[in-house]
Structure 1
Amino acid sequence: MKVAILSATPEVYAEALRGRPDVEVVATAGWDAFEPVLRAAEAGARVLCEYPSAAKETDLKAMVDAGGDRLTFASPACHGEAFAVVRKGIADGGIGDLTTVLGSLDTSADGGVLGTAAPYLLDLADAVLGGEPAQQVYAQSNTVLNGHGAEGAAVLTVRYRSGKVASFDLRRDPAATGRPAVTFIGDRASVRYDAGPKLLDGVDAGLGGEDLLSLLINDFLSEDDGPGPDGEAALRTFRIIQAAYESAQTGQPVDLT
Structure 2
Amino acid sequence: MKVAILSSTPENYVKALRGLPDVEVVAAASWDAFEPVRRAAEAGARVLCEYPRAAKETDLKAMVDAGGDRLTFASPACHGEAFALVRKGIADGGIGEPTTILGSLTTRADGVLGAAAPHLLDLADAVLGGESAQQVYAQTNTVLNGRIAESAAVLTVRYPSGKVASFDCRRSPSGTGRPKVTFIGAKASVQYDAGPRLLGGDRWEQGGEDLDALLLRDFLSDGDGPGPDGQAALRTFRIVQAAYESAHTGQPVDLPAGG
Q: TM-score range by the shorter chain?
A: over 0.9
Using the alignment, how far apart are the partners of 2:236 and 2:173 within structure 1? 25
**Which residue of structure 1 aligns with residue 28 of structure 2?**
28
**Which residue of structure 2 aligns with residue 143 of structure 1?**
142
Counterpart amino acid of residue 46 in structure 2:
R
Q: List runs of 5+ in structure 1 lacking aligned partners.
A: none
Post-superposition offset of 1:21 = 1.1
**Which residue of structure 2 aligns with residue 94 of structure 1?**
94
**Which residue of structure 2 aligns with residue 13 of structure 1?**
13
SS of equivalent to 1:67: helix
Worse-matched range after superposition: 9-18 or 232-241: 9-18
Post-superposition offset of 1:18 = 2.1
Worse-matched range after superposition: 44-53 or 198-207: 198-207
CA displacement, residues 35-87 of structure 1 (integer Å, 9 cap, x when unaligned): 11111111001000000011000000010011100000000000021000000
**Which residue of structure 2 aligns with residue 233 of structure 1?**
232
SS of equivalent to 2:134: strand
**Contact 1:42–1:66 (8 Å) recurs in 2:** yes
Using the alignment, how far apart are the partners of 1:71 and 1:152 within structure 2? 30
The size of the alignment, in residue pairs, is: 256
**Which residue of structure 2 aligns with residue 105 of structure 1?**
105
**Which residue of structure 1 aligns with residue 125 of structure 2?**
126
**Which residue of structure 2 aligns with residue 163 of structure 1?**
162
Post-superposition offset of 1:31 = 1.4
1:2 aligns with 2:2: yes
TM-score (norm 2): 0.97
Find runs of 4+ consecutive structure 1 residues off by over 2 angstroms: 201-204
CA displacement, residues 72-120 of structure 1 (integer Å, 9 cap, x when unaligned): 00000000210000000000010011000000000012x3111110000
**Contact 1:80–1:195 (8 Å) recurs in 2:** no
Post-superposition offset of 1:202 = 4.2
Give the percent of matched residue pairs that are identical in Structure 1 and Structure 2.
81
Using the alignment, how far apart are the partners of 1:221 and 1:201 within structure 2? 33
- Kindly report which structure 2 residues correspond to 1:55-94, keeping only aligned pairs within 5 A, or say none: 55-94=55-94
